[in-house]
Structure formats: structure tokens, C-alpha cells
Structure 1
């Protein structure tokens, strides 16, 4: 028999939506760094947004107990009732908000939450407005549901966030809603509460939806955080146990949705995911114990200390930090004035920093299309001593 010798991919017909999803350069650069480490190089990682803290002991103990008790079967598609009640209590204690536990949908991470929200709300060719820069997967969730992400250039003057005026100016008959993040990845900036209220009002006027990613909300440094849920029951919010609660690989998050949307989310959850990890859910109950929350608060303060070190350090190296981040663990820095031949070319600059200084940062091309070559994203979710060493290495590279 004569078999064709064509590449395997030639026989595969991919869905058109795949073409709208670019590679995740953060992860590609991480793979390159890992290859250098395997070759014996010492690399300081400030690329991936993952806390260096892991789940605290009470959470680990709760997971161990759940394993021993054998409570690892499927849960309700909306999540454990006890966990939904604990999350509701957290909103009450932290934000003074009375959120009905029935509105809370426990998900397999914030990624699953966003995918469920987009599946429920975005139809073919619907436009969804979001800022440029923004977390790349947000636009890909929209594209994966056959919608059209519309990225609006949002620079330092807008704190790298959308404004109500921009939403109004860019709303078209095809626009269905907005997808925001506060605090934001990659910039670490939050939307001012008054501005967020204006955005929600504009969206309501047009009969659209507002989704707000609040996964970094617990990591706020300069003011008490305000949840978009305070603006009305029609706002959809996304949250996660990954960042503030330091449970990245546990893949656990949640949505808060309007009451009328709960049945739809349950149907979608049943069919697309069955449920979030039962073990992770039982472990997460320990996150809300007073002793555990005290641990998280001390870690939040440590992230704030790192921010207060790295922002002036970057400026001393020649980077511009046009907006000081008020949350998350990122700095979005302008590269155009550093003393390096690749200044203003973030892709080339980050490769030089990796290969010549052993420091991983991320170029702006992951996060949008408006001047991505000017910016790099730094994650300070690594040990303070590592940040100090990275600054020394980059100082040598730049001759500072």
C-alpha cells in the first residue's frame, strides 16, 4: 500500500476561530528560559504572573482532610453550597456587600469563569470592548465564542484602562458589552470607582453587559478595593483563588452573576465542565478562616513592599513607569529611554535581558496592538532578594 507522506497537520482542518488566537508569548519566553536553566544558567523569573507564595498550611490541611474523608466525588455544577456561602461571607466582611450565595458560580479557575460568561453572553460577530493593553486571554475568550474583541488604545492618560467616554465613542450597533479588569494584568492599575460607575451606566444605556475581572482585587495597596458588584446586580464579576489566595495550580475561581443568569450558568457548567475540582473546593473553605486571612494579609503587605522597591529601581535603570501600579503584582514600563541598542523594541530587549543578564521579563506584544514595542511587563511576584539581584544584573547590562 502506498501511504501519502504529507505532514500530519495537512490532514487536519482547523476551525476558523483558531486563527484568531495568537500564541501566548509569556509562556513561550518561559520555555526559552527553562531551556537555558537546563543548560546550567541561573535565571531570575519575573515573567509569569504567579505568586511565589503557595497555599498556606490551613489550606493544605483542609485538602489532606478531604482526601482522607474521600470527599472527592463530583459536586453540584454551581459548586459546594458551603463554599458559595463562604464566598458570600467574604463579600460581606470585606466589602460590606450582601451577595446571595445563589448568585455565585464556582468554576475551574477564572479562565473557565470567563469562558462560561462569554459563552452565555457573546454571539457570533458580537463586539466586546476592552482596553489595549489587556490580558491576552480575555480577547481570546471572546474570539473562541465567535465574537469580535475590540481593543481600544488606553494609555497612561487613562491609567491604561477604558473610560466611559471611550466606551460611548466606540459603541456600535454590533457592540454587545465590555470586558474590564480592575486591577489589571499587565498594568497593575485599577479603574477609579467613579469612572467604573460611569462605564456601567453607559453600557446600561445601550442594553449591553459588563464583565469585570476582579482576580487581583485582594492585592490592592493604596486604597480599600471596591467591587463592581456595588454598582448593581446586573454586573458580572470574575474572581479566583489563584492570585490573592495563592492557589494557582488548584484551578479554582468563581463568578457572580445576575439572579436571572444562574440557571443558564448551571446548564453551561454541567455540560462544559461538570464541576470544578471537588478537592480544591473543600480546601478553599479554609481560605476564609481568620488565621488564614491573616496570612494572606501579611503576604499582601509583602507584595506592596516589593512594588515600592521595584518601581523606583526600574526608573533608576532608565525605564519610565508612567502610572504607578496600585494593585496586582505587575509594572508596565516604557523601554524607550533605557541605555540599550534595543530600547523601544521590547521583543529584542527582553531577549537580551534573558540571554545577557539571565532575567525574564515579558514584551508588550502579548497585551495588545497599540505601541506594544514600547513596553515590557515585570512581575514582582518573586522574592525580594531576587528582585534586588535582577536590578543589579540589569544595571550591569545597561551600564547604570
Structure 2
């Protein structure tokens, strides 16, 4: 029996590294896992308490396919709080993680054979989901020369080669942590609107930002009502395993996404939806902001110590990653040796950049300042 060609996509290498690190830890070895983008502290206290109450005495049956009205309304109010955007809850769709959001958005917005542009380096699941759907991925080479951000000049050049149907833009980006400013986002939104290109704005790391970046610039409420926004409870609120994300859609995409969602998953996880209402309390916002201050301390420590390692790094404006050129031409082997000889788990850059990633690695500092400090001690000793 045959296996469909659409399934022939690479595995997400970070999960393989994580499995190897976990196996070493189970065997009793001292492991510092800085490979996965997972907040160490988990969901806010109020969310966990709400979930326990729901498990004891709550309605955990099916919800609406695109999420409960209460959660969609709370998300709309969140956009007013963070961005001063008056968002209609009817445009909000709750999804099974941001992964489910990308799948629904890509299915609704793009046809097989469409050309969709991505920044390289970038999150590998964009490429792999699009490829599995028969969409042609167009790389935009976004290295140090562009500040690791795509430019409208790059978009214009790619569009001149053959028309683009879409652009996926992440800010803060994975693996680099780089961000676009509000003015830069306006330029991209305007270019996409002028050329009939659907913008998909990945904003899952909003709220985890440093310096004067604010919460991050959102595509919601900007001039182009055709843009799609993807976000998640996983990062800022630390709710990774709860598998809860959302879309902000233009009105024309809501009905097809609603139909797709009902057929593909029936509804997002009911327990997570009901408990997530507690994420919008003052207590939960304060708890999440305190965690972001912890990420900032770990980031500052990294930026102080990295020069002594001789690494060249992307500027981590947000998220909790450091993307570093470590001076190798085999980042997969480099990371494997590092784990075997020091117990420090990092992710090879080939996961994010199939062209130049052999020189780069990604370090997640979501584990906190103490873990990062110890890992850097081990790496410095290992590098000699």
C-alpha cells in the first residue's frame, strides 16, 4: 500500500533532541534542556484552579466548533486591553493550539500550487504544513543583512518571479526572537493589500518582549482587513500542553474556517477553553508578566556571556530564544556532541534553515536564569 506524498515532510527535529535529552535524564544523567520553547512554570495559578473546579463539577462536553462565545468575547477584550483595538468577537476563532490555527488558516486561504513566502530561518512547521497541503514555499533569505526580518523589497522580487498568494510573518520570530516595528508592519500590510497577497501574522510570542517593544505590533485592526492573525495561550501564559490557540480572521474567512474546524476537530479542548477564561484576570496577567521579567533576566545574562563564547547572534527582541552562529559547519553533530559530553540540549539550526542552518543553533532561555547560567558554564568549559 502506498504512503501519500503529502506526508513526506521532515520531522520537527527539536522533538527528537528533546526525546534524547529526556532519555539521558531518565538514565540519571545531569541534563539541562534548552532545546524546546516551553515555559518552565506552566499555566497561571487561576487557570489551574479553574481547571480543577471544572474537573470536579463542570460541563466538559462539546463546545461550538470555533470556540465558546465567552472565550471569544474575552479574547476580543484582550485586544482592547493590549492594543487598543476594537475587535468584533465574531472574527475570533478558538483553535487546538496555534498549530490547529495554522492548519485551518492555510486550508481556508491557499490552494494547492499557490506560492506562499516565508522568512528563512523560520519555524519549520510553516513550511511542512504548507508543503503537505500542496502549497509552494518561497524562501526569503532573512539573515544578518536584513536584520533577520523580511523586507518589502524581497517580497516584490519574489512576486515579480511569479505572483505570491501569501506571506507568513512572525514577530517575535522563532528561532531568532527578532521583531518588526509598527511602521515595518504597516509597510508589509500595505504591500500585501496592494498586491492581493494574504498576510498570516504569527503573534504567539506577543507579551514576551524586551526593551521598548511594547507587547508587539499586531496586524489586527490595521488597514488590511484581509490579514489573518494567529496567536496562542502557550507562550505568554505558559499553557503549552493545554493546546489552545486562536485566529483573528477577516469576515470572509470565518464561515469556511468554521466549517473546516467542525469537520477536522469538532471543537477545541473544552476543559482548556473554560479554564482559559481565568487567564484574563488581573492576577493571571501579573503572574505572566513576572515570568517575562524572569526571561528578561536570562536574556540579559546570555547577552553578557555570549561574547566570551565567540558566537554571533541574532538580536533577541522578544520570545525566549537565542539564535547563534557557533562556528561549526555541522550543527546537528555539534548539538549531539554537546548533549553527549555536557548534558546541555540545544537545537540545531537545520530545523529552521535548510540552507544555512548547519552553522547555527537555537538556545531556549525559557528554563530561566539559573539553568542558562549553568549551561553556559558547561558550554564554555567544553569549547575550551
Task: Determine if the TM-score, normalized by the shorter chain, exceeds 0.5.
Answer: yes
> What is aligned with 1:138?
126
> What is aligned with 1:129?
117
> What is aligned with 2:365?
380
Residue deviations 1:346-372 (CA, integer Å, cap 9, x gap) = 122111211111100011100022311
Question: 1:91-130, aligned counterparts within 5 Å?
Answer: 91-130=79-118
Per the normalisation by structure 2, the TM-score is 0.96
Give the one of 230, 234, 248 matched to 1:242.
234
Q: Secondary structure at the match of 2:336?
A: helix
Question: 1:148-159, aligned counterparts within 5 Å?
Answer: 148-159=136-147
State how far apart, in whole Å, the 1-side matches of 2:44 and 2:79 are: 21
> What is aligned with 1:36?
24
State how far apart, in whole Å, the 1-side matches of 2:132 and 2:222 are: 28
State how far apart, in whole Å, the 1-side matches of 2:329 and 2:182 are: 33
Which has the higher Rg, Structure 1 or Structure 2? 1
Q: Secondary structure at the match of 2:278?
A: helix
Distance 1:29 1:289, change over 3 A: same
Contact 1:184-1:190 within 8 A present in 2 as well:
yes
Structure 1 portions without partners, runs of 5+: 1-11, 337-342
Contact 2:181-2:217 within 8 A present in 1 as well:
no
> What is aligned with 1:179?
168
* 1:204 and 2:179 correspond: no
The Cα of 1:144 is off from its aligned counterpart by: 2.0
The Cα of 1:258 is off from its aligned counterpart by: 0.5
Q: Secondary structure at the match of 2:61?
A: coil
* 1:195 and 2:184 correspond: yes
Aligned length: 380
Runs of 4+ in 1 over 4 A off after TM superposition: none
> What is aligned with 2:150?
162
Question: 1:1-400, aligned counterparts within 5 Å?
Answer: 12-19=1-8, 21-171=9-159, 172-222=161-211, 223-224=213-214, 225-232=216-223, 233-321=225-313, 323-336=314-327, 343-399=328-384
Q: Secondary structure at the match of 1:55?
A: coil
RMSD after superposition: 1.2
State how far apart, in whole Å, the 1-side matches of 2:359 and 2:325 are: 6
Per the normalisation by structure 1, the TM-score is 0.92
Structure 2 portions without partners, runs of 5+: none
